[in-house]
Chain A
Amino acid sequence: MKLILTGGRVVDPSLNIDAVLDISIEDGKIAGIGPDIPKEPAKSRKGMQTNVKTIHLGGMIVVPGLIDMHVHLREPGFEYKETIETGSRAAAAGGFTSVACMPNTNPVNDSRSITEFIKKKAALCGLVNVYPIAAVSIGSAGTNLTDFRDLRDAGAVGFSDDGKPVANSALMRRALEYASSISLPVISHCEDTLLSAGGVMNEGFAATELGLQGIPAIAEDVMTVRDIMIAAYTGAAVHIAHVSTAGSVDIIREAKKRGIRVTAETAPHYFTLTEESLREYDTFYKVNPPLRTKEDVAAVKEGLRDDTIDVIASDHAPHAATDKEVEFDLASSGMVGLETSLALSLSLVSDGVLTLPQLIQKMSAWPAKVLNIPKGTLRIGADADITVIDTKKTWTVDRMQFRSRSRNSPFHGRQMTGRAILTIKGGKITYSDNQDNT
């Protein structure tokens, strides 16, 4: 079976391509990319007709399969929130062909068996490449390192105690050194949990009026500084997760200038929403790190623009109604993101913050580079992971239509512009808004 995508504008920053080109796919790989790929069924040597399917994509954007390097798939342990299968469906519908899933499952992904379980479940489902991030410490308890090499051999692509940040600086130092020696990233959720203790939203004027306990920006910033200092001292690399503050953007920018090996990501809600959204005590807006101020939003956008922030990742965090339909103080943190991330990110292009190639880079080539995985490119011979985007399509977010098992999106009802209309993973269509293609 051969698939030909024709007439679309191909945007692949990894190849420096931005032109109307055709792409041919054979045996799950990119077989050709160019202006004049023959569209007629070719006769094979024995005179048998090869099965060729051509999809016309005039006016569409064709990009390397998008990668979301920070998602929570909740399996094993929290299958009532999400499973690898429902999360995979959500990813495909959102235009993603690869995701990296965080280890805060139950049990925590701190062992070969859990990593292998996730890989197997994901392969069985087959809709998205799932790359497990393993825990830094056993049980994410912050005491003993996990078996990094063994976990790598089982398929882990990085390490993180996301959600239970590493408080012990000595442990963090050793984690960075050890991970760097096997060329895998440590992804740091930067939060000083003593500074943030009891906090449920950004510490600012909105918290003052709402009477909610604040999480100061410095709770994030002091840990960003710490991890960067450790990276500088050891020469190891560190990846800063979900940057939300102007302070952290500045710190990372300065570190990059000094040649320290730091990369960073932010999530769409940190460049879209502010603490003002919490005025109605709507728990769907409760996330960690919390939504900050409009000055922070501006700084995050500037960080994206000047490449201080390398990656956009959704921090997809599904929660069931019972986790959210409670008092604000008691509600779980997080929002689902896989099915809204692309549209929210495309607004950076329409707002002139990023060019389309820059955005695609932050959602494909660069997360692939951080995770050191052979993805995010349409190079001939690469896996045929491709996302087709209609940047003009307007649609309204309806959380009841989500493929995700959870519905905790504050963007419900919001008008969006742009979405994935076709997702191809390894040459197979994993999502299409056109029934004829499936």
Chain B
Amino acid sequence: MKLAKKDLLGIQDLSVEEINLILDTAESFIEVSTREIKKVPTLRGKTIINLFLEASTRTRTSFEIAGKRLSADTINISSSTSSIVKGETLIDTAKNLEAMNPDVVVIRHSAAGAPHILAKAVKQAVINAGDGSHEHPTQALLDLMTIRSKKGKIDGLKVAICGDIAHSRVARSNIYALTKMGASVAVAGPATMMPRYIERMGVQAYSKLEEAIIDADIVMMLRIQLERQNEHIFPSLREYATYFGLNRKNISLAKKDVLVMHPGPVNRGVELAPDIADAPFSVILDQVTNGVAVRMALLYLLTGGN
């Protein structure tokens, strides 16, 4: 079976079958990363361009490792300057990349929709590695994989996603992913961090962290972007940490076997109390490991692997 798609732009356009296919394929790749020689020849001769127009060491590294373990040639283009500054439009960039005949273009961009514009302009497969506040599909897939491997299922679980929902691509992708897979999702954060009509995405919204956490199987904490303080969406880090940070006390409201997740990097002492990230119920490092496998699976599936 293969993925009948040219691109992976978001979870919103994936079916449950496609999600399961990606997760199953990712699981089969987990083993490769534990070998002594962590390389299979699957994508030998294929070229992957990692176009990272927004700083991100983790996701870029994860994609690069994924490509290399499949024996693809991976090229990284990193730049924080926008196309406007360079005097080149996104379409120009796209056409230039296309002319070099890569097989996959992985794009991370600070502007929502940039991967969609790119995907329309090039014939190659495009993978969205995070676009503005829109989607971060590979993050949601690795989160699903982590939940599935730890809990044995996703259907019927209660998941709380907490933090700046309005500006979070991780939240959006996970809301699509989790609700499609049958989980019930609660989101929590100050009203200033809730986008309009969020409940229409099929979630329960709370302005009190505790209400969302009660009986949760999974608590997913989002990273606070400190520069957002200028937009008046929270008064101070101290206040945020006190009322919206996860700590030993409020985590006790969740189920006994709760798992705590975070897309990283963690602001210790802000969204997570200093000792929470390393607690036994934290699966933050499993998420990172699964990230490589999920990205290997996508590179494989989108290059027509079978």
Contacts and interface: CB of A to CB of B under 8 A. Distances in A.
Interface of A: 198, 203-205, 207-214, 280-281, 321-322, 325-330
Interface stretch (B67-75, B127-135, B154-162, B217-225): B127-135
A253 B135 CA distance: 41
Contacts of A205: 196-197, 200
A147 to B, nearest CB: 35
Given A208-B166, A209-B12, A325-B90, 5 more contacts: A281-B113, A326-B89, A329-B110, A329-B132, A330-B82
Given A208-B201, A211-B134, A329 B196 contact: no
Interface in B135-189: 135, 166, 169, 172
Interface in B65-119: 82-84, 89-92, 109-114, 116-117
Contact of B90 (A204, A207, A211, A326): A326
Given A210-B134, A211-B134, A281-B116, A327 B90 contact: yes
A211 B109 contact: no
Interface residues of B, number: 31
A203 B135 CA distance: 18
Contacts of B12: 209
Given A212-B134, A280-B116, A322-B89, A328 B111 contact: yes
A209 B196 contact: no
Contacts of A213: 133
B109 to A, nearest CB: 7
Contact of A211 (B82, B169, B196, B197): B169
Contacts of B231: 198
A327 B83 contact: yes
Contacts of B198: 208
Given A210-B134, A211-B133, A211-B134, A327 B113 contact: yes
A350 to B, nearest CB: 32
B274 interface: no
B117 A330 contact: no
A18 B195 CA distance: 51
Nearest to A283: B117
B77 to A, nearest CB: 16
Contacts of B200: 205, 208
B114 A327 contact: yes
B83 to A, nearest CB: 6
B134 A327 contact: no
Nearest to A212: B112
Given A326-B84, A327-B82, A328-B112, A209 B91 contact: no
B116 A211 contact: no
Contact of A329 (B112, B195, B201): B112
Nearest to A202: B196
Contacts of B90: 325-327
A136 B60 CA distance: 50
Q: Which of A204, A212, A329 has the most CB of B within 10 A?
A: A329
A88 B18 CA distance: 53
Contacts of B172: 209, 211
A313 to B, nearest CB: 29
A211 B111 CA distance: 9
A327 B53 CA distance: 12
A210 B82 contact: no
A212 B91 contact: no
B111 A204 contact: no
Nearest to A197: B231
Contacts of B166: 208
Contact of A208 (B111, B117, B197): B197
Contact of B197 (A204, A210, A325, A326): A204
For A198, A204, A209, A214, the residue with the greatest tally of chain B CB atoms inside 10 Å of its CB is: A209
Contacts of A207: 195-196
A210 B112 contact: yes
Nearest to B175: A209
Nearest to A278: B113
A58 to B, nearest CB: 47
Given A203-B196, A326-B84, A330-B82, A211 B112 contact: yes
Contact of B111 (A214, A325, A327): A327
A144 B92 CA distance: 41
A412 B89 CA distance: 22
A157 to B, nearest CB: 35
